[in-house]
Amino acid sequence: MVLLCAAGYAAAQKPAPADQALLSAYDAYKAGSARRFAIATSGLDGHVLLPWLDYWRLSLELEQAAPEAVEQVLARHAGSYAADRLRAEWLKVLAKRRDWERFGAQRPLLVRDDTELRCMSAQAGLQREHPEAADAARKLWMEPGDFAPGCAAMAEELARRGLLSQDAVWLRLRMLFAASQTNAMRYALRYLPRPEQPFESQLGFAQREPERLISELSSVRQQPLERRGAREAVLYAGLRIARDDPTAAASALSGRLGVLLAAEDRAWLWGQLAWRSAMRLEARALDWYALAAESKTVQLGDEQLAWKARAGLRAGNWRVVKEAIEAMSLEGKSEPAWIYWHGRALASEGNAVAARAGFQRIAGGTDFYGLLAVEELGYAPALPPAAYQPGEDELAAIGTREGLVRALALFRLGLRSEGVREWVFSLRGLDDRQLLAASELARRAELYDRAIAAADRTVALHNFGLRYPAPYREVFGEFARAAGLEEAFVLGIARQESRFIASARSVAGAQGLMQLMPATARWVAAKSGMKDFLPARVTEVRTNVTLGTRYLKMVLDSLGHPILATAAYNAGPGRARRWRDARPLEGAIYAESIPFNETRDYVKRVMANAAFYGALLQGKTVPFKQRLGQIAARDGAEQPEFLP
């Protein structure tokens, strides 16, 4: 296996006859043709991917399958990813058949889980009258979004047994209309008694003409509405206004809209307005959070509190930061970001002992806040003193594990999505030595994303060369120097963009090691005078890195800071500029207050990547706060050049 990996699984090879037959079977499975599948799989009984073949075959006929046939396959391939995936689908069939006895026998054996299966388990518990089932079902009732069939069946069972209160229905409705999930709202309405339901026309009115609804109701009302359905429709109208114009919604809430709502409902809506305003990076958000706090009965959720803390950070108001974090749930305040910022808030009050205890909880982690916490404790971030290098005997042993053998075979055949799932499933339960051996196995196969995924999971033994590989080093180094960029920064971008998979293509169409959009690639090629550029070449390593580094340099020169350039690389230069503040900000505060979840996470990861690549390539670390630096204030007079 090790020799095969050294030969390169990533290289394109002509499939052997058995592999070609398997690919034909896969095509038949995707087309839903059991007949074609049976023809293609004739003679493939001994193939290394037999668990997948059995899974595909049964999936085509699972609705009609006999339990004995399914259970035989599950037993034959016990412990495999394909068996676990088959079991998940089989459980959904059993729930539909209401075969709760078999469902109960198979459910504990499932490794992977999803919300629909948890709903089905709760429904099974309700059927058997387990005492904890009702609480589990009510918790699932509050999951956002449309209900899958299994969750809809659970909700019906909960309501049929009289275990779904009207308050629970209204809570779900508020959550859904705060998220603008109108289809799910209409489904939830059916669980209210008819007199309590807002009229469909009134809800539609609130969505289409919210200002008119508020105006008409307030012209004839001088006190809060008595009927809850009408009040909820008015709240929905207020949220609809807030999505487009929070200022207009706040003005209405201080006047006509406020007349129609009780104090508690007004406070809830102020909390919603404050949340939306904070995500727009508006200073007035803190004033609106204060109005929401006037009602002691309204509890803000963790996401609202997170944005209150971010608003406090941008305003330099450490008291607000501390209050917001301390009001979060235990799970929320345990995130490294909020442990770090809570420590900073405590330090601002002079409580150095408590602050230090918080920093010690997360120091040493390889993430953005682990690096910052180390420096708050007075130390310099550093790589582990020695890297653990797996021996050839360990590589030989890990290379015989059936799940990894199957994953590598899937990658070799071009079935990357299936290969990734098999690989991730097969890393379960491995110790640090085995994880690093698996990482080296993947590196030799040029599956750099899988090498990173395995090395990232180690707890005590580490190899940062595997965790932060630098394939195509000569190319990255050459073009980083040509563009005047730090090589570590360029590698940090590429690691986050593609995990060094040269053929990577995103759902949006970005391609290659540095994930260039076709239009951006053409623009950079034209702007930089590249004469021989062809769109078909954008995934070629040298072409992609050339264009990627040139674009990154243009963005960096235009915005003037690596954090801004990183945000721009992910979300566009215009947004990166708009996210600055009227006053200078710490780089870490700018990164934490980026409104897009994806971009916020991306910037933090790229900056941490760059720190570790700098240490690996140069043998020394730059202080992380120095790398993050300060973000200059907005300049209203600047005339930025166009950048895609």
Per the annotation, the verdict on 157 as an active-site residue is no
Neighbour count for residue 168 (Cβ, 10 Å):
17
* pLDDT tens for each residue of 19-37: 999 999 999 999 999 999 9
* Residue, of 635 and 268, whose pLDDT is higher: 268
- Alpha helix segments (H runs only) across 445-540: 448-455, 464-467, 473-483, 487-498, 518-527
466-493 average pLDDT score: 97
Instruction: Quickly state the pLDDT bin for 640 (edges 50, 70, 90).
Output: confident
Instruction: Please say whether the structural domain 13-141 has been given the CATH code 1.10.10.
Output: no
The continuous run of DSSP H or E covering 469 comes out as none
The closest of 16, 93, 29, 91 to 55, measured between CA atoms, is 29
Q: Which residue has the tokens 């708009």?
A: 578
Phi, psi of 507 (to 5 degrees): -60, -35
Q: Which residue has the tokens 């940062």?
A: 464
- Alpha helix segments (H runs only) across 316-455: 318-326, 330-333, 336-348, 352-362, 368-376, 392-398, 402-412, 416-426, 432-444, 448-455
Predicted TM-score (pTM) of this structure? 0.94
Mean of all residue pLDDT scores within the chain = 93
Instruction: Quickly state the pLDDT bin for 13 (edges 50, 70, 90).
Output: low
d(CA 62, CA 217): 55
The closest of 311, 254, 331 to 323, measured between CA atoms, is 311
537-551 average pLDDT score: 97
Instruction: Quickly state the pLDDT bin for 314 (edges 50, 70, 90).
Output: very high
Q: What is the 3-state secondary structure (H, E, C) of 325-364?
A: HHCCCHHHHCCHHHHHHHHHHHHHCCCHHHHHHHHHHHCC
Instruction: Quickly state the pLDDT bin for 199 (edges 50, 70, 90).
Output: low
* Residue, of 620 and 400, whose pLDDT is higher: 400
pLDDT score recorded for residue 351: 98
d(CA 644, CA 375): 36
Instruction: Quickly state the pLDDT bin for 635 (edges 50, 70, 90).
Output: confident
* pLDDT tens for each residue of 574-607: 999 999 999 999 999 999 999 999 999 999 999 9
- Tokens read off for 404: 């990894």
The continuous run of DSSP H or E covering 630 comes out as strand 630-631
291-304 average pLDDT score: 92
389-397 average pLDDT score: 97
d(CA 92, CA 135): 21
**Cα–Cα distance list, 305 to 275, 289, 410, 420, 427 (Å):** 8, 9, 44, 36, 36
Instruction: Quickly state the pLDDT bin for 3 (edges 50, 70, 90).
Output: very low
- Tokens read off for 619: 């043998």
User: Above 80 in pLDDT, residue 633?
Assistant: yes
pLDDT score recorded for residue 26: 98
pLDDT score recorded for residue 2: 34
Neighbour count for residue 637 (Cβ, 10 Å):
5
438-459 average pLDDT score: 97
User: Above 60 in pLDDT, residue 6?
Assistant: no
Q: 363-375 burial by CB neighbour count: b if 16+ within 10 A, else e?
A: beebebbbbbbbb
Domain limits, the chain: 13-141, 473-631
pLDDT score recorded for residue 522: 96
The closest of 486, 506, 519 to 602, measured between CA atoms, is 506
- Tokens read off for 521: 């690639």
User: Above 80 in pLDDT, residue 118?
Assistant: yes
pLDDT score recorded for residue 497: 98
Least confident of 177-186, 190-199, 560-569, 610-619: 190-199
pLDDT score recorded for residue 284: 95
- Tokens read off for 423: 């690989």
Instruction: Please say whether the structural domain 473-631 has been given the CATH code 3.40.50.300.
Output: no
d(CA 304, CA 276): 9
622-631 average pLDDT score: 96
User: Above 60 in pLDDT, residue 11?
Assistant: no
User: Above 60 in pLDDT, residue 506?
Assistant: yes
Catalytic member of 497, 540, 592, 638: 497
- Tokens read off for 3: 């020799």
d(CA 289, CA 320): 10
CA 548 to chain centre: 24
pLDDT score recorded for residue 200: 66
Instruction: Quickly state the pLDDT bin for 234 (edges 50, 70, 90).
Output: very high
User: Above 90 in pLDDT, residue 111?
Assistant: yes
pLDDT score recorded for residue 8: 41
% of the chain residues with pLDDT over 70: 97
pLDDT score recorded for residue 280: 95
* pLDDT tens for each residue of 319-332: 999 999 999 999 99
- Tokens read off for 294: 């006037």
User: Above 70 in pLDDT, residue 495?
Assistant: yes
Q: 60-95 burial by CB neighbour count: b if 16+ within 10 A, else e?
A: bebeebeeeebbebbeebeebbbbbbbbbebbbbbb
For residue 248, the number of C-alpha atoms closer than 13 Å in the C-beta half-sphere is 12
